[in-house]
Amino acid sequence: MTRGRSAERRVLVAGGGIGGLTAALCLARAGWRVVVFEQSQTFGELGAGIQITPNAANVLHYLGLQSSLRTCASQPAAIEFRHWRTGKVVGVVRLGEAAISAYGHPYYHIHRGDLLRILVEAAERSPGVELRAGAQVRGFRRQDAGVRVAVADGAAEREREGVALIGADGVHSAVRTALFGAESPTFTGNVAWRVLVPTTRLAPGDARTAAGVWFGPGRHFVHYPVRGGELMNCVGVVRKSGWTVESWVEPGDHAEFHADFAGWHGDVQALIDNADRGSLHKWALYDRRPLRDWGDGPATLLGDACHPTLPFLAQGAAMAIEDAAVLASCLGTGQPEAALRRYEKLRQARTAMVQRLSRRNAKLFHLPAGAAWLRDRALRFGLRATVARIFRYDALRAVR
Ligand SMILES: Cc1cc2nc3c(=O)[nH]c(=O)nc-3n(C[C@H](O)[C@H](O)[C@H](O)COP(=O)(O)OP(=O)(O)OC[C@H]3O[C@@H](n4cnc5c(N)ncnc54)[C@H](O)[C@@H]3O)c2cc1C
């Protein structure tokens, strides 16, 4: 294959999840042509909810997605932290207008499918972005001033050229394996249940119709409305063994989910009882230490591919979105390989800090009774500082 002139301005992205699509939009805005390869037959995701915090909303607004977000995301007034059995509120994070005035951008709750649709539609409108579904990145080779990527496209395997390859291909990243070999993640001992509950099945006015995080010994439960309040997204995390599959698509057994939260407050029970059983999934949570290197030559990683983050701080996708903005700013300045190394350097400390804080929360959320009392008292003081540290980061200015 001869090297086409257009390859000089083309960036190849493996993975069309939240990170890969946001990267494509940021890069296109910076003047790059971008090809996104997604292994699934369609862009979009089987989904439940996702929390988009102000540090991530900042980037999505910069991409012009504010009005689309407004139509299908909700902006919670607050998140309440509660005792698992009594329902007593032990801590509150004020959001809504308070989040906008403190951090400059809103806090959104949104269905993942809606967020992905918004990103895909924006990519389809962008003349610089080419979306390729059913295209699995298999490997890559370095070549003069760029990269050649092997993509399985149905029965055929093709090659595409670009100046850089961004591995935004998630927790089981093929690009990361090609760069650094197979990894060996550690099972955290926690399993996450995810389910959606139609809110018409719930009584109005209860705590269960708002955003809440319930702390209990060895487990916690999170719920918040998505799709304009039509559905309640629920995540229950339980310390347990016997399940090691790390995937969004593994179905879960409702009786087991129910048993995991036996004895919990009636509001949590009502959510579990009214859950849409077809939407119940089970995901084993694995931990990975921060990677020393994220890339080499014309290839780098982004999002879960390089810093998978436990879901105890709702920051995994936010970190991928921040990465995308910083990567595009770096690629806008100077020689591509040097720009990729600069991006990695700018992002490593922050994403490692968020991985560490999420890991710490995995312990704090599940403390037994005595220690939990101390945690709940400390929550009143510690929460605001942690939240500010995460929400105030401005990915659009990180390079400057
Ligand atoms: C229970 C739970 C709750 C969470 N809640 C939140 C939250 O509230 N807020 C938040 O910010 N984060 C949250 N997260 C984390 C968040 O889901 C991830 O961090 C985020 O999805 C990472 O995005 P990504 O684009 O890096 O990877 P992914 O979303 O995994 O996307 C990777 C994409 O690459 C594709 N792909 C994979 N391999 C290839 C290949 N070889 N070629 C082509 N395509 C490929 C995949 O099909 C996929 O579409 C949560 C995680 C869990 C487990």
Q: Is 79 part of any domain? A: no
Ligand 1 in reach of 37 Cβ (< 6 A): yes
CATH number at residue 297: 3.50.50.60
Ligand 1 in reach of 304 Cβ (< 6 A): yes
| Cα–Cα distance for residue pair 182/184, rounded to 1 Å | 7
Give the residue from 18, 83, 4, 23 showing the smallest Cα distance to 331. 23
Q: What does the pLDDT read at residue 1?
A: 37
Q: What does the pLDDT read at residue 254?
A: 97
Cα 240 to ligand 1 centroid, rounded to whole Å: 23
Ligand 1 in reach of 211 Cβ (< 6 A): no
**Residue span of the structural domain in which 161 resides:** 5-74+111-184+289-363
Ligand 1 in reach of 175 Cβ (< 6 A): no
Probe residue for ligand 1, chosen from 60, 169, 313 as the CB with the greatest number of ligand atoms within 8 Å: 169
Cα 25 to ligand 1 centroid, rounded to whole Å: 17
Probe residue for ligand 1, chosen from 25, 38, 245 as the CB with the greatest number of ligand atoms within 8 Å: 38
| Cα–Cα distance for residue pair 241/354, rounded to 1 Å | 25
Ligand 1 in reach of 168 Cβ (< 6 A): yes
Cα 295 to ligand 1 centroid, rounded to whole Å: 19
Q: Is 324 part of any domain? A: yes
Residue 315 CA: which ligand 1 atom is closest? 11
Cα 37 to ligand 1 centroid, rounded to whole Å: 15
Give the residue from 223, 224, 216, 263 showing the smallest Cα distance to 365. 216
User: Interior CA angle at 342 toward 347 and 356, to 5°?
Assistant: 20
Cα 233 to ligand 1 centroid, rounded to whole Å: 17
Cα 303 to ligand 1 centroid, rounded to whole Å: 8
Q: Is 331 part of any domain? A: yes
Catalytic residue among 103, 107, 224, 343: 224
Ligand 1 in reach of 91 Cβ (< 6 A): no
Q: Is 195 part of any domain? A: no
pTM, full prediction: 0.94
Ligand 1 in reach of 47 Cβ (< 6 A): no
Number of domains in the chain: 1
Ligand 1 in reach of 57 Cβ (< 6 A): no
Q: What does the pLDDT read at residue 186?
A: 86
Name which residue sits closest to atom 3 of ligand 1, judged by CA.
311
In the residue annotation, 393 being an active-site residue is answered as no
Q: Is 135 part of any domain? A: yes
Q: Is 278 part of any domain? A: no
* pLDDT by residue, tens only, the chain of 400 residues: 334 555 678 999 999 999 999 999 999 999 999 999 999 999 876 668 999 999 999 999 999 999 999 998 999 999 999 999 999 999 888 899 999 999 999 999 999 999 999 999 999 999 999 999 999 999 999 998 899 999 999 888 999 999 999 999 999 999 999 999 998 888 999 999 999 999 999 887 655 556 899 999 999 999 999 988 889 999 999 998 877 787 777 888 999 999 999 999 999 999 999 999 999 999 999 988 889 999 999 999 999 999 999 989 999 999 999 999 999 999 987 799 999 999 999 999 999 999 999 999 988 999 998 898 888 888 777 777 888 999 999 999 998 7
3-class DSSP state of 151: strand
Q: What does the pLDDT read at residue 228?
A: 83
Q: What does the pLDDT read at residue 332?
A: 85
Cα 90 to ligand 1 centroid, rounded to whole Å: 31
Ligand 1 in reach of 194 Cβ (< 6 A): yes
Alpha carbon distance, N-terminus to C-terminus of the chain: 38
Q: Is 105 part of any domain? A: no
